[in-house]
Amino acid sequence: DFLYSTYITFAYALLTTGVELVLGLIVALLLNRESRFAKIMTPTLIFPMMIAPVIGTLIWKMMMQPSVGILNPMLNLVGLPSLQWAAVPETALFSVVLVDVWMFTPFAALILTAGLRSFPSAPFEAARVDGASFWFTFRNLTLPMLTPFILIVIVFRLMDSLKMFDIIFAMTEGGPGNTLMTYQLTAYRTSIQFQRLAQGLPYAILLYIIIYIVSFYLIKFWGRAQRRAAGY
């Protein structure tokens, strides 16, 4: 149980953080352009963040109902088979990751957009005059200067995902079976539901230690990246 809780805790945290970072970067690059799309999307991005995680998860839970939800008919329209979503172990992790990505990708996108808009224009204008391609500019200018903001997203999202409780509990309560029993869910079920505090408390303490160590080193990397981006 301990090894599986460790696996599912880190799998959930790494999947959600990685996907949200990549999607947030793509959205940020689109929003950084002066276009009608950017003007429309910027205010609508914050909509998922305005909904409480439990409420948002319950909405997705209804949409994912295999028999009466709206997601399976939408999959069938494009020729894809229906899914059991959170009802079976094979797709339960994917289902809760999907909800987390929908809810918190806007956070990553807004942080990265703020970073892109804080860049000095001179290096990019010089690269454009020299005929540099988008990928050359992105790899040699945008990405190094954006690294401190990327690390901010990683720090906040990784810490939050490691201790995620409400999305998983509202969707499956840790099921089906013990499929999604992260440290938080295991500590809650053991300490509160089964009244075995001595067995449940170590999970909570271990999670605190892991989050502290991860955040400590990520913040150190953030400081170094910020100094490199500033040219120090």
What is the per-residue DSSP string for the chain? -HHHHHHHHHHHHHHHHHHHHHHHHHHHHHHTS-SHHHHHHHHHTTHHHHS-HHHHHHHHHHHT-TTT-SHHHHHHHTTPPP--GGGSHHHHHHHHHHHHHHHHHHHHHHHHHHHHHTS-SHHHHHHHHTT--HHHHIIIIIHHHHHHHHHHHHHHHHHHHHT--HHHHHHHTT-STTTT--HHHHHHIIIIIS--HHHHHHHHHHHHHHHHHHHHHHHHHHHHHHHHHTT-
* pLDDT confidence of residue 71: 94
Spatial separation of the C-alpha atoms in residues 170 and 35, rounded to whole Å:
38
Spatial separation of the C-alpha atoms in residues 215 and 87, rounded to whole Å:
33
Spatial separation of the C-alpha atoms in residues 211 and 145, rounded to whole Å:
26
* pLDDT confidence of residue 229: 67
Show the tokens assigned to 79. Answer: 């020729």
* pLDDT confidence of residue 43: 78
* pLDDT confidence of residue 107: 94
Asked if 172 and 57 count as a contact pair (C-beta separation under 8 A), the reply is: no
- 10-residue block means of pLDDT along the chain (232 residues)? 90 96 93 78 83 93 91 93 91 95 94 90 86 86 90 92 92 88 90 83 88 88 77 62
Residue 128: count of CB within 10 angstroms of its CB: 11
* pLDDT confidence of residue 227: 76
Domains of the chain in start order, with CATH, are 2-49+92-229 (1.10.3720.10)
* pLDDT confidence of residue 10: 94
In Å, what is the CA distance from 119 to each residue of 17, 113, 141, 228?
24, 10, 10, 14
* pLDDT confidence of residue 230: 67
